[in-house]
Amino acid sequence: MLRTAAGQRRLAAFLVLAFFLVCWIPFSNAFPGWVPLQFGSYRVYQATTIAMWAIVALGLNLLTGYNGQISLGHGAFVAVGGYTSAILMFDHGWPFWATIPIAGLLTGAVGFLVGVPALRLSGPYLAIATLALALATPQILQKYEGITHGSQGINVNSPTPPGFLDGDLAHWLNLNETQYLYFFALLAAVIMAIIAWNIVRSRVGRAFVAIRDSEIAAQAMGISVPRFKTMAFAISAFFAGICGGVYVQVVGFVSPRSFDVLQSINYLTTIVVGGLASILGSILGAAVFVLIPETNSLLDQLHLPAADQAPDVLYGASLILVMIFMPYGFAGFIRRLTRLQPPLVMQSLSDFFGQVGLRVRTIRSNPEGGSGGAIPPGREGPRPHASDGKKGDGSS
């Protein structure tokens, strides 16, 4: 009961913090005087990018973190979703809100087709196969110009705030197009996070984890391993398709160059940095991955040298440091912090520094050397008598 109450308090604190972060900070003009910082369109666009990356990271974490299948081809699934939404809007005149679920469903079907032959592969072999998919997708998109418009790409009109936001409500909110797109991406990310949360805690999610831990044991328990592994690919691709549809609405343009192989690698890096097998880790990984390049501008503000000359080096060094000091990602680091008990931590620190102080006093009392366990001069105690070591000499 106490653990449940503590979990409820943590959840309430997280929701309050999330409300301040996602509602007040990005569009401070809606609440003048309530927020000390005034963020411009660039910061709002960064928050929108975090929401989009969180969607695809949630799906990839279901596949890799919970089901154990490594994919380096999710950039191809995002491309399928983005082109589906763009083609339906540009060539067929569909409303933007109707194209996003269609993009997710079509991409999920493609993921199912990819997952069937992937049943024979695992580990690095599956990663290489999905990497080949990511490499081939831009070439396929350029080849079929009649459908994808080739290398020129497709331009679509970004959605504008709906009519019910006009009048006094619009004057109070003061939403511009960038802020509206932020809330649009945020709503999609929240919906997909809820879906992922329910999948993880359902029978399907437990089957995913069982297969990840041991396929033989899962099959012995009656779990259909091919069925659930293919399902994991389809669900993960569905999330990527939703991300692609939202991406097209936010950016307003899609082309084969928008989905290179580096993007697929970045998606996998996102969930590793954030934390595998964690819904919160997917969101934190997206935030970290979008905000880590800001270290260059921070170094510029601090007037440190060579910030502009080696942005990739700084970016890679930041990721390496994160993985060294937080091997389980940011979610694992936060989970460990929540399990710490302050009295035990203080007692451990007290014992540690007490041992260090004892060691220092021992060294000072015996400055001429010797091991730390040597007894200081004058404290040896009485020496044993020579006759004490004799045994069985016949004397009484």
Sign, Cα dihedral of 345, 348, 354, 357: negative
Written as one string, the DSSP assignment of 220-240 is HTT--HHHHHHHHHHHHHHHH
Domain borders along the chain are: 44-272
- Give the pLDDT means over successive 10-residue stretches in the chain (396 positions): 51 53 48 44 87 96 95 95 96 93 97 94 92 94 91 89 58 70 91 94 95 95 95 97 96 92 92 92 90 70 58 73 85 82 71 75 67 47 49 44
Asked if residues 116 and 227 have their Cβ atoms less than 8 Å apart, the reply is no
CB-CB contact of 39 with 230 (8 Å):
no
Nearest to 66 by CA among 204, 244, 256: 204
How far apart, in whole angstroms, are the C-alpha atoms of residue 86 and residue 48? 19
State the pLDDT at residue 246.
Answer: 96
* Residue pointed to by tokens 């000359």: 309
Q: What is the pLDDT of residue 220?
A: 95
pLDDT at residue 390, as a whole number: 47
- Tell me the C-alpha distance between 6 and 8, whole Å: 5
Structure tokens at 18: 């999330």
- pLDDT at residue number 169: 52
Tokens of 293: 């390049």
Which sign does the torsion angle of CA 267, 273, 274, 276 carry?
positive
Q: Kindly report, residue by residue over 308-362, the tens digit of the pLDDT.
A: 555 567 677 777 888 888 888 888 888 888 877 777 667 776 777 777 777 767 7
Residue 145, SS3? helix
Q: What pLDDT, on a 0 to 100 scale, did the predictor assign at position 75?
A: 95
The pLDDT of residue 299 is 63
Measured in residues, the chain has a length of 396
**pLDDT value at position 372?**
45
Residue 368 pLDDT: 59
DSSP state of 309: T
Terminal-residue alpha carbon distance, the chain? 72
Dig out the tokens for 75 from the structure: 């950039």
pTM for this prediction:
0.79
Residue 88 in contact with residue 248, Cβ under 8 Å? no
Question: What per-residue confidence (pLDDT) applies to 165?
Answer: 58
Alpha helices in the chain (DSSP H): 2-19, 41-61, 74-90, 96-115, 124-143, 145-148, 168-173, 177-200, 203-213, 215-220, 225-251, 261-274, 279-291, 294-301, 311-325, 329-339, 342-365
Gyration radius (Cα) of the chain, Å: 29
Tokens, residue 51: 């929401």
What pLDDT does residue 194 have? 93
Say if residues 279 and 200 touch (Cβ distance below 8 Å): yes
Q: Could you tell me the two tokens for 138?
A: 């831009």
Name the residue with tokens 């005034």.
38
How many angstroms separate the Cα of 340 from the Cα of each of 205, 222, 278, 345, 358?
A: 28, 38, 19, 7, 27
Give the pLDDT confidence score for residue 364 in this predicted structure.
Answer: 72
For residues 166 and 378, what is the distance between their CA atoms, to the nearest angstrom? 91
The predicted pLDDT at position 379 comes to 46
Q: Please report, as a single letter, which amino acid is at residue 215.
A: E
pLDDT at position 3 is 47
